Chains A and B, each alone.
Chain A
């Protein structure tokens, strides 16, 4: 009998219940059983603590990962210390991947229905194979994945090519505008790396680059170095929303939505005006701009337009121009406007003005991909292209659609009515791990393996300034994963169906081919006497990189980007009833773009700013909220021209007036027990405004009406779970000025605190508690 002490005490408390006690002391049968596995997995022989290196092609910018495997089970993910992108660190979204692997609602077998009206019912793989052979034997086919830089994307693209079909990539918050701006300014096909670590002043716009954007783990690591005590750099961040990055910045420029480009040019104006840049730098910057154009961006005017206080703007400009090395970059909401390309081009152009291109602490142009098959860059097709494609689907022009890793139904605004269009496509083949809104429209739903069980490659974008290839290898066996799931890899399955047409038999073969190609270059991080040992070496390290193969910082002259639209344009809110007009800023929180919605870990991870979890909330300015009598916990309507959703209001002092921030990824109708019908989908109500140049969805250009529903609900958030510490200045976050010691700061704070007590009324001015409420009344001080 194995009773814990606790159970024993609990039972003796119930001892009056008499003889039934003994019935409760059975031995838990399961715990006494040890399974002896059939085969001899490597990790059993080598020991229990095997860590295998791999990469996740769906994850954050190809971060190198290591997975702890014990007795065939994946236990923990950590960063690969050797990998140049993330240098041993990982992001919370990597951790959550484990719960996709072991999700109790994993799709277990293929499912099929004859027509869209039928029920999906399970079939076996042999049946699925014959169905697939039927439906893929057509040239009227579209293959859809999420943006894939590695061989998975290559296979999907090639499959579509050899069958005469079409390949498209989908990402709800696409980076097309960013790529175009980078092409405009640096004439580069791949994104450049940003040497934040060695910069003295960092100026960023729009992109919440510590949380999401192109390479959050890498740039967070770099931010850590930016804050190194011996050469502490300065971060200026312009964004319409108080994001995690804005919160970490030394100065937050609260730009009104769409004015980021204006602010960038105003900064350029100040730098030139004050003579902070050399003549050659000024020439390089102004040569391709129409003469005198900068006069339209005088700081005073821009301060009015953008809502950034003039003093703040001037200070930022001087710091950026003066304290070098400086680097400027932007993305995210700054590019998600009708003039997004202008905005981002203006921001990146600033780098020429401070000589940051190709220099330490600046922008590092990345080299081309070392792998012949791959460009090392991937971006989703534009919203415009998607509207066109979906019109074809709706018209019945496409016979078969294959979708993998892209939840179109959840990710596209309701205005394109994608679910309806999918019903006009006779064969919808969807690969996935867990049911999602798009798979719910499938005629053939196929269970897919996770990245833990697959072979593949990934080329990070941005690369770390030199050529880098990440290798993905199976770290656990799909057959013995502990899950009763008959899943297959998307890449392997396409290769099997194509039967050699593509030019490869399996993903493994592609990995081996890539490794041997890299071996023949004779350079890089792995040196080995033959190709096989080279491959093993690369797999053990999780990849290959060659620090010598940097990109060339060629001389370039960017084309005049001040053309087309240079002013923001927002969707209309007239006719949406009562309430206040705010600009909607969707943002990425714990769920990524919704990919992790199925995992409880991602769902319950507090948001950085609001600490909210599990459901959709809306960050709204306190005064805006007060004007419609909304407080925290009030459920509000958010209405746009396309539709409306409900969200729980979370007013806080960091929200810029006139904006409302809502996290994306919530509101899936399907997605397993933890995602289904949880929160609401903000992407569904985005207006169909597009960036003029690229056709990308201008997802920050939707204006909404906010109304009170009259209902309330407690916002599930971590904040308030524990009581606030007694708040006086410097507790618990002590702030010092440069050169000031902690002790001096504590003394000064204490002095200030006591001064405040002399006049009791002023105590309300001391600060705010963790709820953002001013501390007042209830003087419990002793």
Chain B
């Protein structure tokens, strides 16, 4: 890939610490506000056609009273080897030099092949023209294109914030700092479960988190090599299957 004006010097990634997620949905709404995602009306929920670029899934484990709810935020995984990309007949989705899986709205013709190809089910299709009553249009974010009917959309890693951050650093003639570019979901996340950053910067927080023992990715067997990775939930009550060897239960303190 040709590096142009510093483009391609970064590899954007997000770390999700599942142990910190409380399922509060702050990221979901912050994303919706930031990215001009249409209002999810009751009708859309009833037809299973509501949209959320980032969602918090909740899984039950165990039986009452030992029941546990597990939360996990899931957004576009920005796969290095993305199943959605080769199936697009018009090259509306592709992988760019900075590790982003880009959706180009003006190329998209709405075949929905990509959504069928995505194992993480993070792509959403605009079945209707998005509608905001006139006065609500005041709060639309001018940095993000409003997608019309018939277009596929998904998490963009807040690419407009990336562009703005890069531009700002350029105009001030300095290098980007770690943590300078923050996605909307990360901004909102009260527990800092979501961390966005540059994997090409070895000292960045994401690079550090990637080295954690708890590092895992979703559906690794599919070989998608996502740029979103997770840190496993810690549960002191989990019985370690092969406990014999280390046999040591760390109680934390």
Contact = CB atoms under 8 A, between A and B. Distances in A.
Query: Do A and B touch, yes or no (CB under 8 Å, in the complex)?
Result: yes
Given A90-B26, A601-B32, A752-B241, A74 B45 contact: no
A734 B188 contact: no
A559 B61 CA distance: 43
B56 A608 contact: yes
B177 to A, nearest CB: 15
Interface stretch (A98-106, A155-163, A500-508): A98-106
Contacts of A76: 33-34, 139, 141, 184
B88 interface: no
A601 B33 contact: yes
B49 to A, nearest CB: 7
B23 interface: yes
Interface in A241-257: 242, 244-248, 250-252, 254
Contacts of A2: none
A251 B60 CA distance: 14
A482 B24 contact: no
A92 B236 contact: no
A211 interface: yes
Nearest to B65: A254
Contacts of A308: 65
Given A217-B190, A227-B191, A770 B40 contact: no
Nearest to B189: A89
Nearest to B209: A229
A617 B249 CA distance: 41
A98 B24 contact: no
Contacts of A608: 22-25, 56, 58, 71
**Most chain A CB neighbours (cut-off 10 Å) among B18, B48, B230, B232:** B232
B48 A78 contact: no
Contacts of B239: 737
Contact of A232 (B68, B148, B234, B248): B234
Contacts of B26: 89-92
Interface string B128-149: 0000011110111110000010
A606 B190 contact: no
Contact of B142 (A70, A224, A232): A70
Nearest to A720: B48
Interface residues of B, number: 98
B39 A718 contact: no
A740 B214 CA distance: 8
Identify whether the interface residues of B are mostly helix, strand, loop, or mixed: loop
A278 B191 CA distance: 34
Contacts of B65: 252, 254, 307-309, 312, 656
A744 B242 contact: yes
A716 interface: yes
A90 B184 CA distance: 11
Contacts of A604: 39-42, 45, 50
Given A613-B45, A735-B233, A657 B251 contact: no
Nearest to A716: B45
Interface string A714-755: 101111111101010001111111111111111110011000
Contact of A95 (B33, B74, B141): B33
A49 B250 CA distance: 48
A427 to B, nearest CB: 31
A405 interface: no
A77 B141 CA distance: 12
B83 interface: no
Interface stretch (A3-11, A342-350, A756-764): A3-11
A496 interface: no
Interface string B10-33: 000000011111111110111011
7 contacts: A73-B139, A103-B135, A247-B71, A248-B71, A717-B45, A742-B215, A768-B61
Kindly list the 10 A-B residue pairs having the minimum CB-CB distance in the complex, ordered from nearest. Answer: A224-B191, A220-B190, A748-B241, A716-B45, A247-B69, A722-B121, A741-B213, A104-B133, A734-B232, A733-B70
Interface of A: 4-6, 9-10, 70, 73-79, 86, 88-92, 95-96, 98-99, 101-104, 106, 200, 210-211, 216-217, 220-221, 223-224, 227, 229, 231-234, 242, 244-248, 250-252, 254, 307-309, 312, 323, 482-483, 590, 600-601, 604-606, 608-609, 611, 613-615, 621, 652-657, 714, 716-723, 725, 727, 731-748, 751-752, 767-768, 770, 772
Given A312-B65, A742-B216, A748-B240, 14 more contacts: A6-B109, A76-B141, A78-B187, A101-B139, A223-B190, A229-B231, A231-B252, A613-B42, A614-B45, A654-B67, A657-B64, A716-B42, A747-B242, A770-B59
